[in-house]
Amino acid sequence: MTKPRILVTRAVFSEVLDHLGEYFEVQSNQADEIWSKAQLVERLHGKLGALTTGSERIDTELLAASPMLQICANMAVGFNNFDLDAMTELGVLGTNTPDVLTQTTADFGFALLLAAARRVTEGEHYLRAGEWRRWRYDMFAGAEVHGSTLGILGMGRIGQAIARRGAMGFEMQVIYHNRSRLAPDVEAHSCARYVGKEELLRSADHLVLVLPYSQQSHHAIGAAELAMMKSTATLVNIARGGIVDDLALADALGHGRLAAAGLDVFEGEPTVHPELLALKNVVLTPHIASATIPTRKAMAMLAAENLIGFLLLGQPVSPLNPQVLGSPQQVQRKGRATGTPAG
């Protein structure tokens, strides 16, 4: 019996490919090339599913050119590379990889917070440049973390994990703002207090961003919001590029209106705004908050299980648009794959 054909759009662990190969005919990209849209469409020809990353934009044009495609399984918790409305309209399921990266990403958020607040990278660059010749009372004196006020914008699983680290590990006062307030028991477990966004910005000594990207959250932190923050505050973004106005942030950091920042995501990444690159008081990392081997393997395996669960059993593990399941548009795509007319 012929196996269904799928595409893996970026390099991935060999054991994940072996696992997929038990069920599918797999075309992979272990050379890890970045394909143009035309190249991606060409490789999707005849494929029922794709294991995707944030590098691949899945939109109306691509879906219309890939009539047999039934599922895109993102190896990420975020999915702003998906036009989910278009996918739903055209009968294509989207999935992501929640939960498996929560603790690892929360760890990294705190690593960025500590590095920025305590001026770790500034000190390292100073040392490596051979400039450390004597001690001085205020040499790279940064901000306190323990006992300070931690603000969290976006209070999903990762936000809650960061809150617990701050409250339990560093005895911080934790405040948060979210689109909707947490249930009382979840709020208590997170050791966090709900406040309005303006109070969050004005009160936080350290502000961590973990909200999903959408048109509504675009530039949620811009010049006006930065102006509300303490000049001694630290801003950490481990969410998505575009949530922060990077140019406004660079201006605030450069003119002393904000003390420091730690950024793992950027507008237009992998390009980073040159004004951010020129600053010493910002820690910059290349979108690696989930980058441990166990976590990345878990993410890839969950994406694989979504492909297997959906294409073989009709039961994806973590669907983003479950209303697609059994829809006329999806039935039509399945009919194209099997040669069976819809209806």
Known catalytic residues are 240, 269, 287
Number of other CB atoms surrounding residue 293 within 10 Å: 8
By CB atoms closer than 10 A (0-12, 13-18, 19+), residue 127 is exposed
Number of other CB atoms surrounding residue 4 within 10 Å: 19
CA-nearest of 206, 210, 203, 220 to 159 is 210
Cβ density class 198-215: b for 16+ within 10 Å, e for less: eebbebbbbbbbbbbbee
CA-nearest of 304, 341, 301, 297 to 71 is 304
**CA contacts within 13 A on the Cβ side of 310:** 33
Question: Can you list the alpha helix ranges (DSSP code H) found in the chain?
Answer: 14-21, 37-44, 60-64, 84-89, 102-117, 120-128, 157-164, 170, 184-189, 197-203, 223-228, 246-254, 274-277, 293-313, 328-338
- Rounded to whole angstroms, what are the CA distances from 138 to 23, 115, 119, 141, 143? 61, 17, 12, 5, 12
Calpha distance 12→154 (Å, rounded):
30
- For residue 208, the cross-strand partners are 152, 236
**CA contacts within 13 A on the Cβ side of 28:** 17
Q: Determine contact, residues 141/118, Cβ cutoff 8 Å.
A: no
